[in-house]
Amino acid sequence: MTPPLGALLATPLSVVTAGVDLFPEALRAQGVTVQPVDWRPPAFGDPQDLAAVAADPRRFPANRVATERILAAGAELVNVRPAADALELDRDLFLHAGPPIEFGNASGPLRGALIGAALFEGLAADPAEAVAMLDSGQIRLEPCHHHRAVGPMAGVTTASMWVSELRDPINGGRAYCSLNEGLGKVLRYGAYSAEVIDRLHWMGEVLGPVLAAAVAKSGPVDIKSILAQMLQMGDEGHNRNRAGSLMFLRDLAPGIAGSDAPAGQVADVLAFIGGNEHFFLNYGMPAAKLALDAARDIPASTVVVAMARNGTDFGIQTSGTGDAWFTGPAQTPDGLFLGGYGPDDANPDIGDSAIMETLGVGGFSMAAAPAIVRFVGGTVPDALATTRRMYGITVTENPAYAIPVLEFRGAPTGIDVLSVARTGILPQINTGMAGRVAGTGQVGAGLVKPPQECFEKALAALADRSRLHR
Amino acid sequence: MTPPLGALLATPLSVVTAGVDLFPEALRAQGVTVQPVDWRPPAFGDPQDLAAVAADPRRFPANRVATERILAAGAELVNVRPAADALELDRDLFLHAGPPIEFGNASGPLRGALIGAALFEGLAADPAEAVAMLDSGQIRLEPCHHHRAVGPMAGVTTASMWVSELRDPINGGRAYCSLNEGLGKVLRYGAYSAEVIDRLHWMGEVLGPVLAAAVAKSGPVDIKSILAQMLQMGDEGHNRNRAGSLMFLRDLAPGIAGSDAPAGQVADVLAFIGGNEHFFLNYGMPAAKLALDAARDIPASTVVVAMARNGTDFGIQTSGTGDAWFTGPAQTPDGLFLGGYGPDDANPDIGDSAIMETLGVGGFSMAAAPAIVRFVGGTVPDALATTRRMYGITVTENPAYAIPVLEFRGAPTGIDVLSVARTGILPQINTGMAGRVAGTGQVGAGLVKPPQECFEKALAALADRSRLHR
């Protein structure tokens, strides 16, 4: 099939070049027709794996189906009730953020939150007893994600905590998340002092029941609609939830006031929600999980359906690889610190909240929230550039989550493992920072990326499946 | 003093040019050193007037004092009570938006609102009787601005309407504004059907007293702080008040719930405020008036302290010219229409709400609210360009009102009559559009500018005073 070299040189040359400009320039100088192609070598990944995944004819339609389901998904808050009920959680089973982990490998904030939860549940009388029960396996640990739930930061969710239940009216799923405690000294950042445990009791005795009554009275709250409007109001839905929290308050305030709770409790609940500009995060996260769960288990799809961190490992899951986690060491965020804290105080990345970026909001939609640079660091042009960069590793754009300053372009949606490997662009995550010492609480907020390793492993697993299918 | 022409030509030439590029290019081609200056002839205004004002040495320090007072001003909501009380309004004195006008010259929406107010006050039994009383002068008309008040659209404010009272803790002023009725068929857009009058009664009997009780319980509400935060949340404070209205609801919800009102009224008030995304406009406007009133009456200051429209005339006032109004015919806004309405249905520009642009927000800070183009028309780049253009006619920037996407640049503040005349750039106003037929209500929202005439007249008056002082 190869033409003889003589024939090649006897006809006018027409050359396609890739790489440095020197080649096409040298050829043009010799009067040769040149078509330069902007091709770059893949940034990482085994070449055989890249080729196997790229050549799989099922990939394109599979990713289309996956992202269509993400875009179509709805999210309504339909109930608030104890996790024992909603998730059928036994008292000795503690859920946590991120991929699976044993207590012995847990970092400070996860240890602190687990200790606090054991105290809150009345399983242990003091931190030492809690540690003993956790160490011995008397208290068992499983990821939230394995129970259709998500939890911010340590994400520790136990039987007596009240959780919200969200329903996807389109794809039919359910997802769950705990109630947000506010900032500072809170369980999810690893604090477990008396004020933390007392607040959790108040949340179980007053906040949860009042919210449940308000939802029953007002009817389902359209969480997807609030997320969409947030992006028009300077929130990105992960580290900035100001407008979202206010809209949630607006939607439920009449139902809260109309509940049978005493006037003092009504005023306390309104003040608690109104005083916590992150309150909505715990509704945005299960809304994102609903959309991404709808995109699971599509053979050959290279779309990421979960990114989550337990404070030690960063893990991702893809649509085409079932329940497998692909993990690497969690990085420490770079950002701004509260009070006297500094980089040495920060724990590595933790929490299920990277589900927001997996959906295409959070760090992916930073352009919608330029004011966030005052909270996570960086500059306004960085924020705009970050969103533009994320279009390079995503399959589609979500018109429901339109970014006004980008002329209403939809949020970059459907992270493609193959595009990440080809470009070397890693997903950008906005996140809170927990103190690395158990019991500290929040120390700051910043920017972080997953380790490349997660995507290398996911690519290899996807390649194995593509080879098996061939 | 003039050197002889021979001496000029005997030395090397060094030339300063202004105007078209042809001049410096021709000189450069002949080896002459050229310094082009980007000077343009003034866009409008009598040359003698321009010269007199520009040469007044008091102007620069006067404008500095004026804008320092605007920047320093605070705004707190301290009370809500009937206008009869707060403004000592007699029942037969009706306040209206814009510069002074007689009933015979009033356009449809102002006529409609005045008729509705006469019905609401029980002064007239039907519209015909109301018209007779207004025509005969039995009901008197005065501008809101003459009573330390402002009113959106028709701005009609009468004795039985409840108004909020704002205090400027820095400069010591007070300003007043009615309560916002919502959108559509409402008095301020000229509607006066039974539903409009009934709503006004409910506002006087329930909304006003409950808000008064909530303010008394919660303490003063910092309106300036809400305005500042709105600009970080996609509002521009004139035609987009979504985040502002939500923050106001958040701040007062516990006080509303804790008032002695029956639970049903509490829920109704929370739902009414929550259902009206323009509710905050009626707090932003008196906050702006407080700041601009503090800048009044500074001799030789060319800063605009009010822009207001009565639906027939557009009027401005400047710091250096006391209570004089400089008027021209109000223009009809260009924008987007509700339902089946179109440009022929729109009344010329109306309302005191251009006080927001006078402060530097609203149309001047459109860059902070790119999503507003879906409401008032235009494109996102237009919105950014509009704010950038307004820096060309303003004296300073307000760091309290920072615009995130412009890297937190402060809002363009302190409209300078001289700069407007020199550049020909007219202030950009975002506004609602009322139906031109009395009784219609809102037909759309859009963009509008003052007539150039207002600035020509103001310049002439400022020039007269500068000449007298010389």
pLDDT at B3: 55
Q: Do B381 and A254 touch (CB under 8 A)?
A: no
pLDDT at A13: 75
- Closest by Cβ to B250, choosing from A251, A268, A274: A274
- Closest by Cβ to B249, choosing from A250, A263, A404: A250
Range(s) for CATH 3.90.1710.10 in chain B?
Answer: 73-286
Mutation site, A218, A221, A239, A246, interface B, largest B CB count within 10 A: A246
Q: Distance (Å, rounded) from C-alpha A288 to C-alpha A356?
A: 6
Contacts of B251 in chain A (CB under 8 A): 274
The token duo for A446 is: 């910043």
Q: Do A247 and B249 touch (CB under 8 A)?
A: no
Instruction: Identify which of A158, A172, A152, A188 has the alpha carbon closest to the alpha carbon of residue A355.
Output: A152
Q: Do A408 and B234 touch (CB under 8 A)?
A: no
Instruction: Identify which of A270, A153, A156, A255 has the alpha carbon closest to the alpha carbon of residue A206.
Output: A270
Distance from CA of A165 to the nearest CA of B (A): 24
Mutation site, A405, A406, A409, interface B, largest B CB count within 10 A: A405
Q: Distance (Å, rounded) from C-alpha B360 to C-alpha B71?
A: 10
Closest residue of B to A254, CA-based? B267
Helix (H) or strand (E) holding A243: helix A242-257
Q: Which residue stretches of chain A have pLDDT < 70?
A: 1-9
Tell me the one-letter amino acid at B218: S
Determine contact, residues B157/B149, Cβ cutoff 8 Å: yes
Q: How far from the centroid of its chain's Cα atoms is residue A8's Cα?
A: 54
pLDDT at A371: 93
* Number of Cβ atoms within 10 Å of the Cβ of B135: 12
Determine contact, residues B242/A233, Cβ cutoff 8 Å: yes
- The answer to whether the complex's ipTM is over 0.85 is yes
Assign 3-class secondary structure to B133-184.
Answer: HHHHCCCEEEEHHHHCEECCCCCCECCCCEEEEEECCCCCCEEEEECCCCCC
Q: Distance (Å, rounded) from C-alpha B430 to C-alpha B418?
A: 23
Q: Do B263 and A247 touch (CB under 8 A)?
A: no
Number of CB pairs, chain A paired with chain B, less than 8 A apart: 102
Q: Do B257 and A266 touch (CB under 8 A)?
A: yes
Q: Do A407 and B263 touch (CB under 8 A)?
A: no
For the domain spanning A47-71+296-469, the CATH number is: 3.90.1700.10
Q: Do A249 and B254 touch (CB under 8 A)?
A: no
- Chain A residues with a Cβ under 8 Å from any Cβ in chain B: 229, 232-235, 242-243, 246-247, 249-251, 253-258, 263-264, 266-268, 270-271, 274, 370-371, 379-381, 404-408
Contacts of B242 in chain A (CB under 8 A): 229, 233, 243
Cite the beta strand spans of A38-144 per DSSP E.
Answer: 76-82, 93-96, 140-143
Range(s) for CATH 3.90.1710.10 in chain A?
Answer: 74-286
Determine contact, residues B239/B370, Cβ cutoff 8 Å: no
Q: Do B274 and A254 touch (CB under 8 A)?
A: yes
Contacts of A408 in chain B (CB under 8 A): 374, 380
Q: Do B246 and A251 touch (CB under 8 A)?
A: no
Distance from CA of B8 to the nearest CA of A (A): 52
Give the homologous superfamily in CATH for domain B73-286. Answer: Enterococcus faecalis V583 domain (3.90.1710.10)
- Closest by Cβ to B274, choosing from A243, A250, A271: A250
Determine contact, residues B399/B67, Cβ cutoff 8 Å: no
Helix (H) or strand (E) holding A432: strand A429-434
pLDDT at B2: 54
Determine contact, residues A221/A77, Cβ cutoff 8 Å: yes
The DSSP 8-state label assigned to residue A303 in this structure reads B
Mutation site, A250, A365, A387, interface B, largest B CB count within 10 A: A250
Q: Do B407 and A380 touch (CB under 8 A)?
A: yes
- Closest by Cβ to A270, choosing from B247, B257, B381: B257
- Closest by Cβ to B233, choosing from A242, A250, A255: A242
Q: What would be the CATH architecture of the domain defined by B47-71+298-469?
A: Alpha-Beta Complex (3.90)
Contacts of B236 in chain A (CB under 8 A): none
pTM of the model: 0.91
- Closest by Cβ to A257, choosing from B232, B246, B257: B257
Q: Do B371 and A258 touch (CB under 8 A)?
A: no
For tokens 């857009």, the residue is: B189
Distance from CA of A215 to the nearest CA of B (A): 14
Q: Do A232 and B235 touch (CB under 8 A)?
A: no
The CATH number fitting domain A74-286, selected from 3.40.50.700, 3.90.1710.10, 1.10.3720.10, 3.30.70.360: 3.90.1710.10
Contacts of B268 in chain A (CB under 8 A): 254
Range(s) for CATH 3.90.1700.10 in chain A?
Answer: 47-71+296-469
Q: Distance (Å, rounded) from C-alpha A50 to C-alpha A456?
A: 10
Instruction: Identify which of A429, A430, A426 has the alpha carbon closest to the alpha carbon of residue A458.
Output: A426
Instruction: Identify which of B72, B17, B2 has the alpha carbon closest to the alpha carbon of residue B399.
Output: B72
Mutation site, B231, B270, B272, B365, interface A, largest A CB count within 10 A: B270
Closest residue of B to A406, CA-based? B380
Contacts of B82-85 with C-beta under 8 Å, sequence gap 24+, read B82/B159, B82/B160, B82/B161, B82/B162, B82/B163, B82/B204, B82/B208, B83/B157, B83/B158, B83/B159, B83/B160, B83/B161, B83/B162, B83/B163, B83/B176, B83/B178, B84/B159, B84/B160
Radius of gyration of chain A (CA): 24
Q: How far from the centroid of its chain's Cα atoms is residue B266's Cα?
A: 32
pLDDT at B9: 66
Mutation site, B229, B231, B232, B373, interface A, largest A CB count within 10 A: B232
The token duo for B397 is: 């920037």
Range(s) for CATH 3.90.1700.10 in chain B?
Answer: 47-71+298-469
- Closest by Cβ to A253, choosing from B247, B270, B381: B270
Q: Do A407 and B380 touch (CB under 8 A)?
A: yes
Contacts of A229 in chain B (CB under 8 A): 242
Closest residue of A to B261, CA-based? A263
Q: Over the stretch A89-99, which tens digit does the pLDDT of each residue have?
A: 999 999 999 99
* A314 phi-psi bin (left φ>0, alpha ψ -120 to 50, beta other): beta
pLDDT at A174: 98
The mean pLDDT values, 10 residues at a time, for chain B of 470 residues are: 62 76 83 80 92 97 98 98 97 98 98 98 98 98 98 98 98 97 92 97 98 96 98 97 98 93 94 96 98 98 98 98 98 93 95 98 97 91 96 98 97 98 97 93 94 98 94
Mutation site, A232, A374, A408, interface B, largest B CB count within 10 A: A232
Using a 10 angstrom Cβ sphere, with 0-12 exposed, 13-18 middle and 19 or more buried, the burial of residue B154 is buried
